[in-house]
Amino acid sequence: MKKSAVLFIVGFLLVLNFVAWQEVFSLYGSHYLKVVFLSVGQGDAEFIETPEGHQILIDGGPNATVLGKLSENMPVWDKTIDLVILTHPESDHMQGILYALQRYKADYILWSGIKKSAPEYYAWMKILAYQKNMGAKIIVAQSGAGLPAGRQEIKAGNVLIDTIYPLQSMEGKEMKSSSNDSCVVSKIIYGKNSFLFTGDIDTKAEKEIVGEIIWHGSGQDILANVLKVAHHGSKYSTSDLFLASVTPKFAVIEVGKNSYGHPTPETLQRLQNFGIKVLRTDINGDVTFISDGNNITLGK
């Protein structure tokens, strides 16, 4: 074949490729919210991209695996994450964030503001100072139930990030052992669709949330189409009361090889009793949902 003809064909294919990618970008870039529960082993990490292209990272898992996942989900040139949420400073949620925040700049960081004596906590404080120095705004999480104004809500275009827990600010509070009870619980809302991210809260926190938010509340609610099952499917979380209040269609358990027996048969049974479709990152890999604001579809 003549060289010019080959060039023409290559050029034509490139144009086709470009058109195809434009289609993909307009499909996922302007109308859809994407929520990915990342398969990072025994730990939590969730990546969210809003229809306007804002990126949110909730937790980062137990190691550097999240870096590969971020490169799969973000363009190479994009080194800024709009919002990073740390549910609580424990290794299986935080180590990956420490790696990510060395490579990416965060515009906003939402966390509980608690105090702890642990090497990984000091590493977090260091990275927080580094990000603040680079211009990141640090927000201490507190639900609307504890605020006179009614709610702590962050807007990313048409997507709302609503803080559900802790009910009162935990800023400066010292955690002697586990910080699970201080977890930031967030609800992400896009149109009629919502996702509830629970970190590692237990039934005590679930009860407080149901009591405060629903009965004495702030006008917030915890109904959600998709529930991130708390504490990797521990039997001390995901109570009947909580499930009856959230009424999710889908539940995602973020879990890997572990010695705790996660997810426990008790929690799996409760989810089954409520007829909730359960997905697990140890079995399904990355779990992706796409929302158009009315309907949620499950990706690969």
Q: How far is the CB of 62 from Zn ion (least distance, A)?
A: 9
158 vs 203, which CB is nearer to Zn ion? 203
Q: How far is the CB of 231 from Zn ion (least distance, A)?
A: 6
94 vs 128, which CB is nearer to Zn ion? 94
Measured distance CA(234)–CA(221) in Å, rounded: 24
51 vs 62, which CB is nearer to Zn ion? 62
Q: How far is the CB of 284 from Zn ion (least distance, A)?
A: 19
44 vs 49, which CB is nearer to Zn ion? 44
Q: Which amino acid is at 202?
A: D
**Parallel, antiparallel or unpaired: strands 193-197 and 185-190:** antiparallel
CB contact at 8 A, 229 and 237: yes
Q: How far is the CB of 45 from Zn ion (least distance, A)?
A: 11
21 vs 260, which CB is nearer to Zn ion? 260
Give one DSSP letter per residue of 231-281, joined into a string: GGG-TTSS-HHHHHHH--SEEEE---S-SS-PSPHHHHHHHHHTT-EEEEH
> CB-side exposure of 31: number of CA atoms within 13 Å?
8
Q: How far is the CB of 263 from Zn ion (least distance, A)?
A: 12
Measured distance CA(24)–CA(21) in Å, rounded: 5
> CB-side exposure of 266: number of CA atoms within 13 Å?
10
Q: How far is the CB of 42 from Zn ion (least distance, A)?
A: 8
237 vs 291, which CB is nearer to Zn ion? 237
82 vs 92, which CB is nearer to Zn ion? 92
Q: For residue 163, give the H/E element and its range.
A: strand 159-165
Q: How far is the CB of 129 from Zn ion (least distance, A)?
A: 25
54 vs 93, which CB is nearer to Zn ion? 93
Which tokens in the block code for residue 254?
């973020």
Measured distance CA(203)–CA(111) in Å, rounded: 21
What DSSP state is assigned to residue 192? T
Q: How far is the CB of 185 from Zn ion (least distance, A)?
A: 13
- The residues, ordered by sequence, that sit 6+ positions from 121 with a Cβ below 8 Å of its Cβ are 89, 115
Site of interaction with Zn ion (CB under 5 A): 92, 200
CB contact at 8 A, 240 and 209: no
